Chain A
Amino acid sequence: MSDGKLVGIVLVSHSAAVAASVAELAQGLAGVGGAVPVAPAGGTEGGGLGTSAELIAAAAASVDRGAGVAVLTDLGSAVLTVKALLAEGDELPERTRLVDAPFVEGAVAAVVTAATGADLAAVEAAAVEAYTYRKV
């Protein structure tokens, strides 16, 4: 547990609409009235498809409550940009982690788990575990 502070979740997609919708979906399914800080970082600053380091850094800062930040991404440049920002060292809040998880299912698992007051490692584990849920 983490002193009542909730882990923040950042959702990075090439598309602003996808990031915002998945954030809405995860919070809706978590059914906790938006207690978990979740921020979408989708598309470029100009509103196009792509990845914006600035939007990611701003989203991470906005959800940081001191319990760590879990970042979920879709693919390609979203993954690479978060990794590059983490390697930079000072662009993202302390205890920010890139979580290797499916975007939609992982986001739901992360938000639901974070809502229980779980720590960053538990939120990450729940999101990663979403990979093992087979549909057929």
Chain B
Amino acid sequence: MLDADFFRRWMTATATSVDREAERLTALDSPIGDADHGSNLQRGFRAVKDALDKEPPTTPGAVLTQAGRLLISTVGGASGPLYGTLLRRTGKALGDAAEVDGRQLAEALRAGVDAVRQLGGAAPGDKTMIDALVPAVDALGDSFAAARDAAEEGAVATTPLRARKGRASYLGERSIGHQDPGATSAALLIAGLVEAGGE
């Protein structure tokens, strides 16, 4: 079973990997975006980590809803409302339970991904974070490691795609050949599950 501390570790692990990969995320965002993805997410997840360290919520759902709210208010770019909605909606779907199992997490995360798709209007293949998240949620029933691998494969597979959402879509054909920064950071988030689970 997964308790509130597991979810706090998940967010902390993500904050650490976003810190570590911030320069790479910003570098990926330079040719096809506005070169702020790494620093924006770094600011957001640092705020999440600080808040959770200071006063950790007592349920899995509350950890994620608080994290989502903070991302919306601190990131300053499109990734704020997108990741914020992902975590908040996932947290709401988990309800008030003190512990949840892997199947409940998978179902809740699917609700979160659906909310992101609704918010941004992106579908699989549009070269966005959805391309990492959808395969990850599909694989989550097997193991966290399977979800991590599926997210990473999904992120790499965005390279030949032409962007159809977000700022990169203005570039048309020129967005082809670059790995999507949002899909890359989404893979970091999913990899955080493996670290939180101690796998």
Contact = CB atoms under 8 A, between A and B. Distances in A.
Contacts of A85: 72
Contacts of B36: 50
Given A87-B119, A88-B69, A80 B76 contact: no
Interface string B71-100: 011001111111011001000000000000
A83 interface: yes
A84 B84 contact: yes
B166 A76 contact: yes
Contacts of B115: 87
Interface string A40-64: 0000100010111110000000000
B81 A84 contact: yes
B120 interface: yes
B169 to A, nearest CB: 10
Given A50-B36, A50-B76, A84-B85, 16 more contacts: A44-B76, A51-B80, A52-B73, A52-B76, A53-B81, A77-B76, A77-B77, A77-B81, A80-B119, A80-B120, A83-B119, A84-B81, A84-B84, A84-B119, A87-B115, A88-B69
Interface of B: 36, 40, 69, 72-73, 76-82, 84-85, 88, 115, 119-120, 166-167
Nearest to A83: B119
A51 to B, nearest CB: 6
Contact of B77 (A51, A83, A88): A51
Given A76-B166, A83-B119, A84-B119, A53 B85 contact: no
The majority secondary structure among interface residues of chain A is helix
Interface residues of A, number: 16
A75 B84 CA distance: 18
A80 B82 contact: yes
Nearest to A78: B78
A51 B119 CA distance: 16
Contacts of B69: 88
A81 interface: yes
Contacts of A50: 36, 40, 76-77
Contacts of B40: 50
Given A77-B78, A80-B78, A87 B73 contact: no
A48 B76 CA distance: 9
